[in-house]
Chains A and B, each alone.
Chain A
């Protein structure tokens, strides 16, 4: 049994990794737009344009990936983002309270929405699709209604104090959003949760089979609620970042994040059925999305074509995800035989 302890490097194991498809996707679109998009796409300005989009999306997509690995969906990130941003603007812009109170209130709003999502979900046992869709509409209505009621407008201006402006909403080197740094921090935290902490195991187990996970003693309901608190917080954080960056909060900001986050996660190799996925994949998926979304402006084509590309990418991703899952399950048996000779 000594040969069991010594494992040779097996190149096929790379192919079986969940992020392999996402990696190919990112490389392909990066090369494509570097050629078609011309020189300006590969210069700092071009890189910043997609990294900025990627960072804002990535901060939301990573916690959304955890929710999806646990087998649920979160369609309420758009309104959580709007709620976070407008709460900050109303508190610190309209009522002129210190900015940090506004930031705190905004983030708290995201946590609250996540709690509502999670608690309604585990209490009613309805599909998360329906629950979070309902929350998205309900919260959107609340934000719109209250913002108009309080401020009489749907775009609230704010003058954030310099410390918060510099840390959350400014451009490094005049090009790169500070959100990129926050994205990296979020990626480290989410990766730690998924791979290093025991909660990662719980998340995979819940997504794999919720009933069995419950029977092993995992506090399934608590984990699911916490995951929604995570997406709510992250969405509100992006709302706060945008408000700090643009000195204004828009009530209808953020709705694009609802589906974009799901696209990024699925293109990143997370299975729609849950139980499988990686943070590296999701980061790559987010980058792929951002490159296509921004790269299109450098090609001189109508930007509408970006949606077509993303649609096709999504479909390819779902199909290849299923294939990779099958490869992973069979353990590449055919290739194993080949290595015998």
Chain B
């Protein structure tokens, strides 16, 4: 699979914000039908990397390649048009909009003609509900309900359903499971697998190693803006990954140290 041309690549990308180097010489390849997990602690540069990929920031140095050809994203719209969709932590980001309306934000379906062209609410509601049900969210039957009334997992699902519906080729998921309970997180991971099997390139940003290992095909670890490691499924153990994410320090040592501090409490239990 890795012999195929990557759909999207970063070549030696750096991003500098007024003297602060948020990303330093990062190269990444994103393949269709694969889940790339972007791991890293808070402040490691994950958000900056997402913003470069989704067109919010232009890299200070380095290039982006789409299907092997160099591209520049001047705006999120450019990235959108290529088929890059970003879903943020809380999924449906418009809690006070109806499911139907928020599903079509920015790409509203219309009916009618000329000055009487209007938003096709019925179509929007029906499509949104249908696409969410296709991802296993069967509780949602009314597109007029507000997004805020959905659970965290359902919101993620609605956002992913939206991306899939509009033919996203690259789906960037920013900490989709961070705010969810165990059951809901599992559901979201299942939806990620569904998206992957549809041939979508998924970039999963997370600091949850368990979730990453469950669905990931390919992993990249960011530390202080640099790519510290890049490996395929099965090439690293969970401990190695956690150690790396903690900034190269051995987590085991830290835990041992913690044990000596909390030892007396542990004995009571």
What is the interface of chain B, defined by CB distance below 8 A to chain A?
A: 54-56, 76-77, 80-81, 86, 88, 93-97, 101-102, 104-108, 110, 117-119, 129, 141-142, 145-146, 148-149
The docked-state distance in angstroms from the alpha carbon of A325 to that of B147 is 12
A174 within 8 A of B: no
With contacts A205-B97, A208-B93 taken as known, whether A328 is within 8 angstroms of B105 at the C-beta atoms is no
With a cutoff of 8 Å between Cβ atoms, the chain B residues found around residue A195 in the complex are 119
Per-residue CB contact flags for chain A residues 208-221 toward chain B (1 = under 8 Å, else 0) read 11001111111000
| Assembly CA distance A7 to B141 (angstroms) | 10
Residues of A within 8 A of B107 (CB): 216-217
Would you call A42 an interface residue if the criterion is a C-beta within 8 Å of the partner chain's C-beta atoms?
no
For residue B78, which residue of chain A has the nearest CB? Answer: A217
**B118 contacts A197, C-beta separation under 8 Å:** yes
Subset of 19 A-B contacts with CB under 8 Å: A1-B141, A4-B129, A192-B118, A198-B119, A202-B105, A204-B94, A205-B102, A208-B93, A208-B95, A212-B94, A213-B106, A215-B80, A216-B105, A217-B77, A217-B106, A218-B105, A328-B96, A328-B146, A333-B149
Chain A residues in the interface with B (C-beta under 8 A): 1, 4, 7, 192, 195-198, 200-202, 204-205, 208-209, 212-218, 271, 275-276, 325, 328-331, 333
Query: What chain A residues lie within 8 Å of B97 (beta carbons)?
Result: 201, 204-205, 208, 275
**Complex contact B119–A329 (CB within 8 A):** no
3 closest pairs, A vs B, by CB? A216-B106, A329-B148, A331-B149
Minimum CB–CB distance from A265 to chain B (whole Å) comes to 16
Q: How far is the CB of A190 from chain B (nearest CB, A)?
A: 15
Q: Which residues of B lie under 8 Å from residue A202 when comparing CB positions? A: 105-106
CA distance A135 to B110 in the complex (A): 37
Rounded to whole angstroms, the CA-CA distance of A337 and B182 in the bound complex is 25
Bound Cα distance from A216 to B79, whole angstroms: 10
B94 touches A329 (CB 8 A): no
- Interface majority SS (helix, strand, loop, mixed), chain B: loop
Q: How far is the CB of A285 from chain B (nearest CB, A)?
A: 18
Q: Report the nearest A residue to B77, measured CB to CB.
A: A217
Closest to A4 in B: B141
A212 x B96 contact (CB < 8 A): no
Q: What's the nearest-Cβ distance from chain A to residue B31, in Å?
A: 23
**Least distance between B112 CB and chain A CB atoms (Å):** 9
How many angstroms between the C-alpha atoms of A142 and B117 in the bound complex?
41
B77 contacts across to A, CB distance below 8 A = 217
Residues of A contacting B148 in the complex (Cβ-Cβ under 8 angstroms):
328-329
Check A198 against B108 for contact (C-beta < 8 Å).
yes
Asked if B101 and A201 make an inter-chain contact with CB atoms under 8 angstroms apart, the answer reads: yes
Nearest chain A CB to B137's CB is how many angstroms away? 13
CB distance from B138 to the nearest CB of A (A): 9
Cα distance A271–B97 in the bound complex, in angstroms: 13
- In the assembled complex, the Cα of A69 lies from the Cα of B104 at a distance in Å of 18
Q: Determine the residue in chain B with the shortest Cβ distance to A213.
A: B105
Which single member of B88, B119, B129 contacts A212 (CB below 8 Å)?
B88
What chain A residues lie within 8 Å of B101 (beta carbons)?
Answer: 201, 204
